[in-house]
Structure 1
């Protein structure tokens, strides 16, 4: 899974350095250079936030309080303010960790990994997100994202996609899909699968027109091309 990390710091060189290092580790990174930009990124639902303290306008402490109104992910303060009082203030305002500038990138990466791993344990589950070309499929939240935008799917549509991606390189017949998604006791027939496939294709093509995610194998069924 590509966890999403937000960096908030008005020092662009530091932001660029951290961003490059984290992207090398496979993380998806969003950058903000002030509190207003950071608040606009929050709908991305980050898995972790790296936050500076001294910024123009709303400082890091105030921003942390604001973030905590809607986001519970780990927040690591990274700041040149290095007194014990600064560290305590950061933790009291909702931070989970505090590092001094200048810092070791290796240590920051280790702390990020530790916090993300702890979040997994707290949730009592591993992240069940799959990446398929330009799609992110969250098997537990029943959510699908295309180019970071959420695609509105019904439960049946999501179940069909889930069935496809859990059976890679398999050609699935309409009857197989119907029995798996609707159940053996369902009232109806497998022709409804065709209509659901059409709707899924239309939704995926709307956000990703050049990628055919579901192909038809004539006379047999359908195959996921993710």
Structure 2
């Protein structure tokens, strides 16, 4: 569907992937939802080893539709806008460091990449780096994480089951001693995927400064007055 979806976007009248309004792949109202500001978005409970996570939006409504369209429906034209949102989260995560920053995307499985025709998180990381470069801040993207064993589909699993499913599943493919890393993904739910990614990166010697995502699942106890609340 990945290549087919991209091809159809070129020849068919497009509707907004977030709200289905006519007039283009992403309407102004839905684009504004990705505009931040970035906020800390820790899940509850916080899994051991999770770096401080930053996001620009809640994973609900139109934002959820945009991320799913990019990830599962081949709407690759959304990468730049979603990447701009991710870049805002990266800037917040890197605010107090002057060290060169390495963005490390959480890897998709080989089977998922073959099915989609692309790695959506890698694409978002590259788009975020491009957005930051245009604003005068250089960051690098490193595809250094890999799966070293198969994992079950995370859908429907509890936080504890997700943690068990992912424990020890990732590895870094090179020495990262001395590197300052921000691990990136499209969404944070329970946080166990980002925690496992951070574990593998630390094992390779990296200083994992934070995590950055486009959107965060709302906590059940979160309200409008919560510091992590998105408008």
TM-score band by shorter chain is: under 0.3
Structure with larger Rg: 1
User: Could you say which structure has the greater relative contact order, defined with CA pairs below 8 angstroms and 6 or more residues apart?
Assistant: 2
TM-score by length of 1: 0.25
Query: By percentage of residues, which structure has more strand?
Result: 1
